[in-house]
A = this chain, B = another copy of it.
Amino acid sequence: MTTISEEANSVIDIRRNRLRSSLILELYKAGQTSINKMARLFHASIPSATGIVNDLIKEGWIHETGTGPARAGRPPVLYGLNAQKYFTLIMDINRHDTQLVIFDLANQLIVRRQVDLKLEDAEGFLDALFSKTDAFLKFHGIKPEKLWGIGVSMPGLINAQIGINQTYPNLTRADQSLTARLSEYFQLPVALINDTRATTIGEHRFGLAKEKKHVLTVNIDWGVGLGILVNGEVFTGASGFAGELGHIQVQSDGLLCHCGKIGCLDTVTSGFALIRQAEEGIRLGRITILPQLLQEGERLETHHIIRAAHNGDEFCIDLLSRLGMELGKGIATAVHLFNPEIVIVTGVLAEAGPFISNPVEQAIHKYCLSDFKNSLTVRISQLGSKARLLGIQAHLIEHLVSKEFS
């Protein structure tokens, strides 16, 4: 009877909305289920579940998707989300580029476009993002009213509660948070999340961490990021900074880190550190095919080193191996503190595959108490960068559902 956006102050409305949102969320996660299962799952009676399902059908949220299997007797009618009820706009913002993606509610990728927007050019970034997004939506004929919300992922220290990115303060105005600015311009709800955390959610819902409750995701990009899943939920800490593995000290006499401290893990195991070490080796005349891989005037990148390793270049294999050992030592620390079931390695350096994962695993075995190792597996992500996109999507949907059914 009550429409969705009405405020729900009465007890029944609260309970009803709770059941509605649980139902929608369950259908998003499970794809499809029967009324019986839903009723049992949420401790409601079958008639009331039926009632809510029928309402949701009328409102266009869900529809029948066929019948399920039955051991015996009448098979259940299955219901699923109406994937085209809304679309979502995903902004996957990185240091070197930005991706704009449209998903439907069944996580089907509708459109995907890489736009030339570098987070490094913080000045004017948002204005450029606005116009390029407008153009993107227009070009593909996505009507704004068909969008349910915007999911944004970025690297950096993100405080999701107030919706700002501490690392890129230029994106925030004194009177308006980053999410508020985006929300105002596009007139849509916005969910902001750190990139590594998005990846963690993606791996949990669609990847190697499915069904697991305690998960660590190590993202090796320019820095080292740690995504943490506790009881199946992303863990952000008191102000959203949890998981800063990159800036724990691993060498008391190490290099100066860009954060101002000395000997951070970042100075040893990041993509940046890898390139520095490779360049130093080349300068010292170490035997390696690296220089031959470079075009005239081209800068050395991590993918060169990875390619060289795959080609058997001992110098590069050695570099990666040492990086893996150090990284594994850092991960061992995190394992002691979080006691996870699985550690997933992602990021650009994950493409180095066993060259990284083997020494990481070795280091974990060396530095972890045996009690931890028994229940632990270390794996390289198989979803790659798709984990992040799907993670943003999942995070956004959860945000939207809890918002929609207040």
Contacts and interface: CB of A to CB of B under 8 A. Distances in A.
B43 A11 contact: yes
Contacts of A43: 11, 14-15
Contact of A337 (B213, B240, B243, B369): B243
A403 interface: no
B371 A248 contact: no
Given A244-B369, A245-B336, A239 B375 contact: yes
Given A237-B214, A329-B249, A157 B371 contact: yes
Interface string A167-179: 0000000000000
Contact of A371 (B14, B241, B369, B374): B241
Nearest to A15: B43
A327 to B, nearest CB: 14
Interface residues of A, number: 46
Given A157-B371, A333-B333, A241 B11 contact: no
Interface stretch (A115-123, A143-151, A338-346): A338-346
A367 interface: yes
Given A244-B337, A337-B334, A238 B261 contact: no
Contacts of A249: 329, 332-333, 367
Interface string A319-337: 0000000000100111011
A137 interface: no
A245 B193 CA distance: 29
A206 interface: no
Contacts of A374: 239
Given A367-B249, A367-B261, A369-B247, A236 B15 contact: no
25 contacts: A11-B44, A14-B43, A166-B371, A213-B238, A226-B337, A237-B339, A238-B339, A238-B375, A239-B339, A240-B339, A241-B339, A241-B369, A241-B371, A243-B339, A244-B337, A244-B339, A244-B369, A245-B336, A245-B337, A247-B369, A249-B329, A249-B333, A261-B369, A334-B337, A337-B337
Given A238-B340, A244-B339, A245-B337, 5 more contacts: A240-B339, A241-B339, A243-B337, A248-B332, A248-B367
